[in-house]
């Protein structure tokens, strides 16, 4: 009897946690996802669809790759080739909404419907945690659509893309995000409020590069009116643009880029356009051709020197900022718009944030970003 009790105790002690690990910093602080609800482990794609979209608070544990590539069947239609280059196979585009310019070479192709429309995405309702087990959990062939939802966590899964449309309290953490045709993460024109994107590995390695260099161009696109987003401690490698692109000409976006590690970016990292208020601090740019596009439509406070990290920050947001670092890269930009600091002093997730030393960013991020690091 004693042996049986001890054996049972040992098994229970080895059971993995069924809550997201840690808690978000930055704008998504306080997000709890499916905590307090039921925990489920789907076995089929149909079950996963139901668990994601129903009204129940849930922690959804993924212990394998769920393949939706052919779930919605195929279609045939017009495609075009917006990009041409020698020695590479650039991607082609589907002409679903008249996207193809008349000047582009065109043809026909059969393609999977998954991911070609919001209808063919995985709808995620409020109060959900999507949690990968070990490093084996994920979704293939389709992305997540977090639309009109609140209190959502996506942690420790492999996936192609995540769409955050008119949603709030969203934490995207410790995921491996790769192999997509357009944006890895995108917000629509409706606000994406109280969002933190942290500790993810964005891998742009591809054989169908639009920039003709085996690197993916579209990383993150923030286009929502009044977006409030923290992008922290992510590993962004082998990309060539939009890491992120930020811009909306009918409102302001408040973005904090902090302690990210960019490596081997043969294009640009940051592009801040109209309506942006962006603080860029404590990031490490290693082998980045163009760190910042210098888009005159956007407003940034890009901390390039120790002096810029001092009084201009402490006198507005009440703390020192952390300077950005570059190695084997283009020049650090001189973009120090004081309007950014004035705007961001109203936001406690920025004022109260404690960035890591930029000298620790490379080692920390490469060791901790992506799947299999939290369980």
Tokens describing residue 146: 């977090």
Q: 2, 242, 319, 335: which one is catalytic?
A: 242
Tokens describing residue 202: 């964005």
Alpha helices in the chain (DSSP H): 2-13, 45-53, 306-309, 311-314, 338-344, 348-351, 358-368
Distance (Å) of CA 29 to CA 96, 229, 253, 341, 370: 38, 11, 18, 21, 20
Distance (Å) of CA 374 to CA 101, 171, 336: 45, 15, 36
User: Taking Cα atoms as reference points, which of 240, 196, 199 lies closest to residue 24?
Assistant: 196
Task: Name 60's bridge partners.
Answer: 40, 130
Spatial separation of the C-alpha atoms in residues 150 and 167, rounded to whole Å: 6
Spatial separation of the C-alpha atoms in residues 174 and 158, rounded to whole Å: 9
How many residues make up the chain in this entry?
Answer: 375
Burial 301-315 (b: 16+ CB within 10 A, else e): bbbbeeebbeebbee
Spatial separation of the C-alpha atoms in residues 173 and 156, rounded to whole Å: 7
Whether the Cβ atoms of residue 351 and residue 319 lie closer than 8 Å to each other: yes
Tokens describing residue 271: 């592009």
Spatial separation of the C-alpha atoms in residues 259 and 83, rounded to whole Å: 33
Q: Is 2 a catalytic residue?
A: no
What's the N-to-C CA distance of the chain in angstroms?
32
Positions marked catalytic: 242
């Amino acid at each position: 009897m004693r042996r049986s009790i001890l054996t049972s105790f040992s098994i229970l002690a080895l059971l993995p946690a069924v809550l997201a690990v840690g808690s978000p910093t930055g704008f998504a602080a306080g997000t709890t996802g499916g905590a307090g609800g039921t925990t489920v482990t789907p076995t089929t794609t149909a079950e996963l669809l139901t668990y994601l979209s129903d009204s129940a608070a849930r922690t959804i544990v993924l212990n394998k790759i769920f393949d939706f590539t052919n779930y919605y069947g195929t279609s045939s239609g017009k495609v075009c080739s917006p990009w041409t280059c020698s020695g590479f196979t650039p991607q082609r585009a589907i002409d679903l909404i008249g996207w193809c310019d008349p000047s582009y070479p065109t043809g026909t192709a059969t393609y999977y419907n998954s991911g070609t429309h919001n209808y063919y995405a995985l709808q995620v309702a409020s109060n959900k945690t999507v949690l990968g087990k070990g490093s084996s959990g994920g979704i293939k062939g389709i992305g997540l659509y977090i639309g009109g939802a609140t209190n959502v966590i996506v942690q420790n899964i492999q996936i192609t893309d995540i769409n955050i449309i008119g949603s709030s309290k969203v934490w995207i953490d410790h995921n491996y995000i790769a192999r997509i045709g357009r944006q890895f993460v995108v917000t629509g024109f409706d606000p994406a409020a109280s969002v933190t994107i942290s500790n993810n590995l964005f891998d742009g390695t591809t054989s169908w590069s639009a920039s003709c260099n085996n690197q993916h161009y579209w990383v993150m696109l923030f286009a929502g009116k009044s977006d409030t987003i923290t992008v922290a401690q992510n590993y962004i490698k082998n990309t060539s643009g939009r890491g992120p692109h930020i811009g909306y000409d009918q409102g302001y976006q408040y973005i904090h880029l902090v302690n990210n590690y960019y490596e081997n970016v043969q294009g640009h990292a940051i592009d801040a356009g109209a309506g942006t208020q962006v603080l860029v601090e404590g990031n490490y740019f290693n082998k980045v051709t163009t760190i910042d596009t210098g888009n005159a439509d956007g407003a940034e406070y890009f901390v390039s020197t120790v002096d810029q990290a001092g009084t201009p920050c402490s006198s507005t947001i009440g703390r020192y900022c952390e300077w950005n670092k570059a190695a084997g890269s283009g020049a650090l930009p001189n973009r120090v718009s004081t309007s950014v600091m004035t705007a961001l002093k109203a936001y406690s997730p920025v004022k109260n944030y404690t960035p890591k030393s930029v000298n620790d960013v490379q080692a920390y991020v490469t060791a901790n970003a992506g799947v299999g690091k939290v369980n």
